[in-house]
Structure 1
């Protein structure tokens, strides 16, 4: 029987496949949750230990780049609203910044355009399932991490592929700009990649056998497999690295505020509390518990290159 986690993903992915990913969303209907689990209401901004940059404060809202095709972290729900674990975090940050969880504009981004959106100031920060890599850290500044994952493979149930070694000389489906694609480019140069910008496109391509596997973060692949009995996840995790938010390079003021907000959430146990509301299956919750920062337990980035072969 499908897990509740898989059911959440299945419903969301069905919407993505049917309608495609929204280009942007100004979502004013969602409410953030505080660390105790109650809905945040309009009130005073929260002191997170660092001031909100004047440029952001003057706009009266945060503009955040998020995923819109990556359930349960960021996706478009049945009512055409942004939903998911990362979306709840964004609303909580707006509550900290302005005393209003809806003082927020959510802009859909992909692996290939999220950094350019940040650099061009279309968004204030990236919160889009972005693994830390030393290479990315040359162009943006990463916040402290708030989740963790690695790269694995999604293949048909009857596939002979059981590891990354089995990809030699074959075509693999991946997402442009994603960690999986970067790792394959650096570490498996004889693999041909068929690149897409959206998860729905990649999943369709896999079902059409346009590649022998779909390489992506294990957090997404495990749940795609949970909703599709014809698929399975294989391979040891590669490029294992936590996720962080991205701010413009050298923007020390914004980075300090974001890190302060994340530390405030960690101390309130917001991440674990909200994740359990997003993912209601207790067995799945326990599998992912180690991937979340909690009071007295933080995640850290690896030293050196995360794309080691």
Structure 2
């Protein structure tokens, strides 16, 4: 064997032996534990997910998911530093290691999954129909029966009319460039229903329990998950464990209390015996 070939073989072997060691240098879980607090990315302008309350505190369902992870790490929901970020900063802040974890009503898509690693889902979003509690139409069946006699208000979007007609094919559709105008149309009876995110619908009902009702129909499902930087399976496994046990196990009371506070719904306690998530 020539000296050149021997040197090349030695270099290849050295690289292959060092690769596993390099792969193990990234350990976000250990990094966070040594730091003593979680750096958590979320928003601040979208109730009930994340917003600043009257006490100037950042609150919401996404915020509570961060506190749940902090509690799992340190036994303290306050062991957390919030990075308030815009929607378009969610992926860049993970990529540059500015945050350890992002929970910000982030819809799971195949395109995004090429850039981040998604956790198990913690919420299933969809579109719902908001009605006035004292309005002419009591539920989805009544809206269907009314056919073309009703008008549905919706936030302006290139797919808005198609989306509404997937649920109510004969309804007229009025599009508005802000959610406030959309709800004003409903309040003034210029529209008999408003098509909006189920989470927003539930939040409005929590805030105005005698004013609005849910028509009882949801469609256009999408999954919300938290996200971590790719490449650290141990950290992803840890966050998945925390979220899963929040929804189905030992931390269920924490998750259920938050769900009730922000969405006004009582969750059934997980069934004892066979794990329901595997049915």
TM bucket normalised to smaller: 0.5 to 0.7
Structure 2 CA distance for partners of 1:277 and 1:169, relative to 1, 3 Å: closer
User: Could you tell me which residue of structure 1 aligns to residue 242 of structure 2?
Assistant: 261
1:206 offset after TM fit, Å? Answer: 4.6
Specify the alignment match of 2:176 in structure 1. 194
Distance 1:126 1:203 in 2: 30
Q: Secondary structure at the match of 2:121?
A: coil
Pairing 1:207-222 to 2, within 5 Å after superposition: 207=187, 213-222=193-202
Question: Structure 1 pair 126/167, CA: closer, same or farther in 2 (3 Å)?
Answer: farther
Measure the CA separation in 2 of the matches of 1:293 and 1:243: 23
Distance in 1 between residues matched to 2:148 and 2:230, nearest whole Å: 36
> What CA distance in whole angstroms lies between the structure 1 residues aligned with 2:162 and 2:227?
20
Q: Distance in 1 between matches of 2:52 and 2:126?
A: 24
- Counting helix residues as a fraction of each chain, which structure ranks higher? 2
TM-score for both structures, normalised by structure 2: 0.58
Provide the C-alpha distance between the structure 1 equivalents of 2:100 and 2:189, rounded to a whole number of angstroms. Answer: 39
Q: 1:117 to 1:220 in 2, by over 3 A?
A: same
Total equivalences in the alignment = 237
| SS state at 1:91 partner | helix
* Contact 1:61–1:98 (Cα < 8 Å) also in 2: no
- Counterparts of residues 1-309 of structure 1 (less than 5 Å): 51-52=27-28, 60-66=37-43, 68-71=45-48, 74-98=50-74, 100-108=76-84, 113-114=86-87, 116-121=88-93, 123-134=99-110, 137=113, 140-156=116-132, 157-158=134-135, 162=143, 172-174=153-155, 184=163, 193-196=175-178, 203-204=183-184, 206-207=186-187, 213-225=193-205, 227=208, 229-234=210-215, 236-248=217-229, 252=233, 254-266=235-247, 268-276=249-257, 279=260, 284-285=265-266, 288-289=267-268, 296-298=275-277
Distance 2:227 2:244 in 1: 16
User: Could you list the per-position Cα deviations for residues 39-65 of structure 1 after superposition, in whole angstroms to 9, with x for gaps in the alignment?
Assistant: xxxxxxxxxxx9535776676531221
CA distance in 2, matches of 1:167, 1:195: 23
Return the index of the structure with the highest Cα Rg.
2
| Structure 1 residues 58 and 220, CA gap change in structure 2 (3 angstroms) | same
Q: Which has the higher contact order (CA 8 A, sep 6+)?
A: 1
Write out per-residue CA displacement over residues 221-240 of structure 1, whole angstroms, 9 at most, x where no aligned residue.
13423515443322621023
TM-score, length basis structure 1: 0.54
- Give 1:117 shift: 1.4
Structure 1 spans left out of the alignment, 5+ residues: 1-49, 301-309
Structure 1 residues 204 and 253: CA distance shift in structure 2, 3 A: farther
